[in-house]
Amino acid sequence: MNRKARGVLRPVLLICFTVSALFGQDYSQRGFLETRFTLYPREAPNDRAHSVVEGLFRYEGFYKAAGSLQINGAVDVRLDSHHQGDRQLDFSWWDRQQKRPLVAVRRLSGHYHTGGLSIEVGKQFIRWGKADIINPTDRFAPRDFLTVIDNDFLGITAARVTYERGSETIDAVWSPNITTSRIPLPDQRWVVVPGTLPNNVVFRDGGALYPASGHGGLRWNHVGVLEFSASYYQGFNHLPSFESALSFNGNNVVVDLQSFYPRMKMAGMDAAIPLRWFGIKAEAGYFASSDPRADDYGQYVLQLERHVGEWTFVGGYAGEWVATDGTLTVDFAPDRGFSKTMLGSARYVIDTNRSISVETAIRQNADGGWVRAEYSQIFGQHWRATANFSIIRGEPTDFLGQYHRNSHGVLILRYSF
Amino acid sequence: MLLVIGFLNPVLAQDARQIVEETQKRTRSGSQHYEGTLQVVDGNARITEKRWGFDRVGSHGDSKSIIRFTAPAEVKGVALLIVNHADKASDQWMWTPATARERRIALQDRSTRFFGTDFSFEDLEERDNNQFDYKLLGEESITGAAAWKIEARPKQTKRSQYTHSHLWIRKDNYVVVQIENYKQTEMVRRAKYSDVRQVQGFWTAHTTEMEDIRRRSRTILKLDKLQYNVPMKDSDFTLQALRRES
């Protein structure tokens, strides 16, 4: 660990454990220190690195301020060898930097509950939907897509009011400012540069145009023999589209790319249906935009799942239909990139400490596919080692296929506390 | 936790049901709290330790429970909500902090092991004795104490992974000291209850050893800080409450 990392981690650890000691029994904590080594056997045209080493320290604390009031907090400290993260000590709240921040407030919220009413205000995680692999209705869950296949959720700043009575729950969410998904860095392998472009075409980052207003949504959930929900969202896509502007600089053609986040309305539903031999989960959303540049489209997921002994099987299909084509075709949309796709996963628990799993996604036209095999083992009370290998194949024109140079192996060592 | 209880022969069955009803009556409390330490011993005698906190409100057939793991570190925060019903199988949801969402445990998945322990999800239910038919098989001495041996069969077999169970209930204090669970003729799990002590007037086994016969592994659950009739609110046993991590 280098001097900068130690310099950041020491005060963070000191604060965390001091808080823990001060608040005693009303305070609980957890977290981990993780080291991740990624190896890419193939070189990418815009990224000659074959290996990346990352370190992540995550600390989460929960303080019961009163019987009905709880304060939740979490902080991430990251460093990596591949400049995926910022190396300036700037605290991040909105997660709008291109790079991962050195120190990020992952969560900071107050949660109050009385009877069936719960109110949470602040930075938090909000998950909608029931499917496991793709969630069309999960509109308040932006992600860090720096490495597209291995992504992680980002918290959003919002007020969430939930009222639960018997088997019915109403969930209302409003956020003053959208947290957008973090997209791959332009000078790294998860941004695929078209190989057919002439040498004199230069791409330039034109920045991002963030929405000025807030977003919100409403969800009704019923729990019974069948579980189902209906949801409505009004706001913006947390995944960007791109507007381009051409200019000439000598013999070079300069393309300025500016990202923006189209307005979006979503009406969705999801359901979980337990049957005798397997469970069915279904989720669908219809997306409309007042922005003519964006598509109006629908997306759905249908999955079956079953546990047999130590095996867990999930298999399904994600589909999509476009109602109205938008005028813009350049966007970064992993959610749509995984549609028209067969999805599956299988997990086997070898024993209390060891498991293996396989996940796969194969496009219906066979233009792209991804498969990941993983082995994970716990050592004692605190350590876990995980090794996985992802193979990506396909055509350069396919969302998955374009990453065919990015098959990779990952070794992860995690100390949890 | 885990009350399994039947009758075929009218005369003996009446006796068996009375015994089980007395057992249930003697364990009826408004709520329960304990901190559990689990030692999972696999087929190669490797030991893994886990800890959870257990809260229950209500009793037999009308109770709700939440189990929250506190150790090992990486499963800290994982929680299971169980809503028991008098006339049907329980509803169960599991919360995993890493995905920030709860997942319903489907009925057909209840035979799977609960988070690497030898308890299945079904074993964690608290069932009402009316869900079973009983038959008195005889009397035996077990761990030095005289006990009734009773067969329990679920009234609707589809609700249970087990076709039937054998229970041993001590005659002196009506405490269940052993349960053998069967699939047809094969015994698949055996629970032994020991270290029986009285807490607030309730005879309680402070140690439960659950053995998975097929896997040759066992989990020893030891109860600590056990309390009955602790003030608890129904609203702390809902899906919203499950999401409130602590």
Average confidence (pLDDT) over A211-216: 94
Closest residue on chain B to A128 (Cα): B101
Count the Cβ atoms, other than its own, within 10 Å of residue A299. 25
Question: Is pLDDT of B5 > 50?
Answer: no
Average confidence (pLDDT) over A12-37: 78
**Domain count of chain A?**
2
Beta carbons of A30 and B73 less than 8 Å apart: yes
For B245, phi then psi, to 5°, come to -80, 150
pLDDT at B1: 45
Query: Measured between CB atoms, does A153 come within 8 Å of chain B?
Result: yes
Task: Give the tens place of pLDDT for each residue, A272-299.
Answer: 998 888 899 999 999 999 999 999 999 9
Task: Give the tens place of pLDDT for each residue, A334-366.
Answer: 999 999 999 999 999 988 889 999 999 999 999
Pairing, β A252-260 against β A263-274: unpaired
Residues A149, A183 contacting (CB under 8 angstroms):
no
Residues A394, A405 contacting (CB under 8 angstroms):
no
- List of chain B residues whose C-beta atoms are within 8 Å of the C-beta of residue A277: 108
Lowest mean pLDDT, pick from A195-209, A227-241, A344-358, B66-80: A195-209
Beta carbons of B244 and A118 less than 8 Å apart: yes
What confidence tier does A305 reach under pLDDT thresholds 50, 70, 90?
Answer: very high
Instruction: Find the radius of gyration of the CA atoms of chain B.
Output: 17
Average confidence (pLDDT) over A324-339: 89
What confidence tier does B11 reach under pLDDT thresholds 50, 70, 90?
Answer: very low
Query: Measured between CB atoms, does A354 come within 8 Å of chain B?
Result: no
B149 to chain A, closest Cα gap in Å: 29
| Segments forming the whole domain that contains residue A25 | 1-124
Least Cα distance to A398 among A368, A371, A373 occurs for: A368
A352 to chain B, closest Cα gap in Å: 5
Question: Is pLDDT of A211 > 50?
Answer: yes
Angstrom CA distances, A259 to A83, A209, A290, stand at: 21, 6, 17
What confidence tier does A19 reach under pLDDT thresholds 50, 70, 90?
Answer: low
A19 to chain B, closest Cα gap in Å: 15
Q: What is the 3-state secondary structure (H, E, C) of A98-115?
A: CCECCEEEEEEEEEEEEC
Cis status, amide bond into B72, omega within 30 of 0: yes
Beta carbons of A279 and B106 less than 8 Å apart: yes
pLDDT at B10: 44
pLDDT at B127: 77
Closest in B74, B99, B238 to A164, CB measured: B238
For residues A384 and A376, give the distance between their C-alpha atoms in angstroms, rounded to a whole number.
7
Closest residue on chain A to B102 (Cα): A130
pLDDT at B157: 55
Average confidence (pLDDT) over A167-182: 96
For residues B232 and A6, give the distance between their C-alpha atoms in angstroms, rounded to a whole number.
44
Residues A378, B74 contacting (CB under 8 angstroms):
yes
Closest in A72, A162, A384 to B240, CB measured: A162
Beta carbons of A227 and B104 less than 8 Å apart: yes
For residues A53 and A84, give the distance between their C-alpha atoms in angstroms, rounded to a whole number.
10
User: Does residue A263 belong to any structural domain of this protein?
Assistant: no
Q: Which of A67, A95, A124 is the last residue of a domain?
A: A124
A365 to chain B, closest Cα gap in Å: 30
Closest residue on chain A to B97 (Cα): A125
Collect all residues from B whose CB is shorter than 8 A from any CB in A.
Answer: 40, 42-43, 46, 48-49, 71-74, 76-77, 91, 99-101, 104, 106-109, 111-113, 116, 158, 217, 235, 238-241, 244-246
Chain B contact probe: residue of A25, A30, A58 with most B CBs at under 10 A: A30
User: Does residue A369 belong to any structural domain of this protein?
Assistant: yes
Closest residue on chain B to A311 (Cα): B112
pLDDT at A24: 66
Closest in A115, A349, A417 to B73, CB measured: A417
Q: Which of A89, A124, A159 is the last residue of a domain?
A: A124
Average confidence (pLDDT) over A195-206: 79
User: Does residue A189 belong to any structural domain of this protein?
Assistant: no
Task: Give the tens place of pLDDT for each residue, A45-84.
Answer: 889 999 999 999 999 999 998 889 999 999 999 999 999 9
Question: Is pLDDT of B94 > 50?
Answer: yes
Question: Is pLDDT of A20 > 80?
Answer: no
Query: Measured between CB atoms, does A30 come within 8 Å of chain B?
Result: yes
What confidence tier does B235 reach under pLDDT thresholds 50, 70, 90?
Answer: confident
Closest in A32, A111, A127 to B100, CB measured: A127
B73 to chain A, closest Cα gap in Å: 5
Beta carbons of B74 and A162 less than 8 Å apart: no
- List of chain A residues whose C-beta atoms are within 8 Å of the C-beta of residue B74: 32, 378, 382, 384, 414, 416
pLDDT at B155: 86
State what percent of residues in chain B have pLDDT above 90.
Answer: 65
> Which CATH number goes with the domain that contains A398?
3.30.1300
**Please, what is the average pLDDT of chain A?**
91
For residues B204 and B196, give the distance between their C-alpha atoms in angstroms, rounded to a whole number.
5
Q: Is B81 exposed, middle or buried (0-12, 13-18, 19+ CB in 10 A)?
A: buried
Question: Is pLDDT of B13 > 60?
Answer: no
Q: Could you say which residues from 373 to 392 on chain A have a Cβ atom under 8 Å away from some Cβ of chain B?
A: 378, 381-382, 384
Q: Could you say which residues from 202 to 231 on chain A have a Cβ atom under 8 Å away from some Cβ of chain B?
A: 223, 227
A149 to chain B, closest Cα gap in Å: 16
For residues A57 and A75, give the distance between their C-alpha atoms in angstroms, rounded to a whole number.
8
Chain A contact probe: residue of B76, B110, B156 with most A CBs at under 10 A: B76
- List of chain A residues whose C-beta atoms are within 8 Å of the C-beta of residue B100: 125-127, 153
Closest residue on chain B to A141 (Cα): B100
What confidence tier does B213 reach under pLDDT thresholds 50, 70, 90?
Answer: very high
Residues A208, A258 contacting (CB under 8 angstroms):
yes
User: Does residue A380 belong to any structural domain of this protein?
Assistant: yes
Q: Residues 6 or more apart from A415 whose CB is under 8 A from it?
A: A32, A33, A34, A382, A383
- List of chain A residues whose C-beta atoms are within 8 Å of the C-beta of residue B116: 349, 352-353
pLDDT at A12: 62
Q: Which of A124, A155, A186 is the last residue of a domain?
A: A124
For A116, phi then psi, to 5°, come to -90, 0
Query: What would you measure as the largest C-alpha separation in chain A, in angstroms?
Result: 70
Residue-range domain boundaries for chain B: 16-243
Residues B28, B228 contacting (CB under 8 angstroms):
no
For residues A58 and A360, give the distance between their C-alpha atoms in angstroms, rounded to a whole number.
28
A281 to chain B, closest Cα gap in Å: 11
What pTM value is reported for the model?
0.88
Superfamily of domain B16-243 in the CATH hierarchy? Lipoprotein localisation LolA/LolB/LppX (2.50.20.10)
pLDDT at A335: 92
User: Does residue A162 belong to any structural domain of this protein?
Assistant: no
For residues A398 and A392, give the distance between their C-alpha atoms in angstroms, rounded to a whole number.
11
- List of chain A residues whose C-beta atoms are within 8 Å of the C-beta of residue B48: 352-353, 378
For residues A72 and A69, give the distance between their C-alpha atoms in angstroms, rounded to a whole number.
10
Question: Is pLDDT of B3 > 50?
Answer: no
Q: What is the ipTM of this complex?
A: 0.84
Beta carbons of B108 and A274 less than 8 Å apart: yes
Question: Is pLDDT of A150 > 70?
Answer: yes
Question: Is pLDDT of B108 > 90?
Answer: no
Closest residue on chain B to A124 (Cα): B100
User: Does residue A256 belong to any structural domain of this protein?
Assistant: no
Closest residue on chain B to A381 (Cα): B72
Average confidence (pLDDT) over A263-273: 96
